[in-house]
Amino acid sequence: MRLLVVEDEKDMNRLIVKTLQQAGYTVDSCLDGLEAMDYLDSADYDGLILDVMLPGKNGHEIITSLRQKKNALPVLFLSARDSVADRIEGLDLGADDYLVKPFDFDELLARIRAMTRKYTPVKSTLLSLGDLSLDTKTHAVTRAGKEIRLSAKEYSILEYMLRNQGVVLSRERLENSMWNFDYSGGSNVVDVYISYLRKKVDEGFDKKLIHTVRGAGWVLKEETP
């Protein structure tokens, strides 16, 4: 999952980014509102962590412009202002959640999990398909009850595929969701990770879950294509 962090306090920005990266998210970050609009125009994010008071364009202006464009991106506001009126204003403008500074980083992570799972059918930390299951909180992955050990990137791709099971995912879409703008790698890096995942998830099982759709990408589903 790829997140954008917009926070103009440099140390706070760095801390949030570090915490999110350690939790396995792909993260882009910036320090002002105008730059945030550029990021939002250039990539598809799964969630936005947005400070309210920002130079350039403030958090309320950013979310207003997103919602006017019918963009349903999950948004979590961060703000030093803790008055009830401010929180109501943020939520009324279309924020999914609101966290008042100073906050606990474990709570930030829990709220991000809650906000991003609204788009999956079951409100739990477990994602599954057939006998494959993945826990977004502990990052434990099992198939038929047996633990599968994955690298951070493998985990991240599998989580994305589980959230989008049944959907054909192109190389470009997977790349965009897995790597931030700092990344520059070979063009077939997604293919390489998919082949690692195949070995770990499907090898030794009659029922394959990862399927190639020629010329289009890959799809995670139970039946054969």
List interacting residues with Ca ion (CB under 5 A): 8, 51, 53
Give min distance, CB of 77 to Ca ion, in A: 11
The span from the CA of 61 to the CA of 223, in Å, is 45
User: Which CB sits closer to Ca ion, 3 or 148?
Assistant: 3
Smallest separation (angstroms) from Ca ion to the CB of 171: 37
Minimal CB distance residue for Ca ion: 53
Query: Residue 9 or residue 202: which is nearer to Ca ion going by CB?
Result: 9
Nearer to Ca ion, 8 or 175 (CB): 8
**Secondary structure in 3-state letters for 147-198:** EECCCHHHHHHHHHHHHCCCCCECHHHHHHHHCCCCCCCCCCHHHHHHHHHH
Report, in Å, the least distance between residue 117 CB and Ca ion.
27
- Minimum separation from the CB atom of position 11 to Ca ion (A): 12
Smallest distance, Å, CB 95 to Ca ion? Answer: 15
Count the helices and strands in the chain (H runs, E runs). 8, 11
- Rounded CA-CA distance 50/6 in Å is 5
53 or 168: CB nearest Ca ion: 53
Pairing state of beta strands 141-143 and 146-148? antiparallel
Q: How far apart are CA 1 and CA 153, in angstroms?
A: 10
Residue 129 has a CB neighbour count (10 Å cut-off) of: 17
Toward Ca ion, which CB reaches closer, 28 or 51? 51
Burial of 142 (0-12, 13-18, 19+ CB in 10 A): middle
Nearest to 171 by CA among 214, 138, 216: 216
Instruction: Report, in Å, the least distance between residue 8 CB and Ca ion.
Output: 5
CB of 9 vs Ca ion, minimal distance in Å:
6
Comparing CB distances to Ca ion, the nearer of 78 and 169 is 78
* Alpha-carbon gap, residue 123 to 133, rounded angstroms: 15
Residue 160 and residue 6 in contact, taking contact as beta carbons nearer than 8 Å: no
* Shorter beta-carbon distance to Ca ion: residue 51 or 96: 51
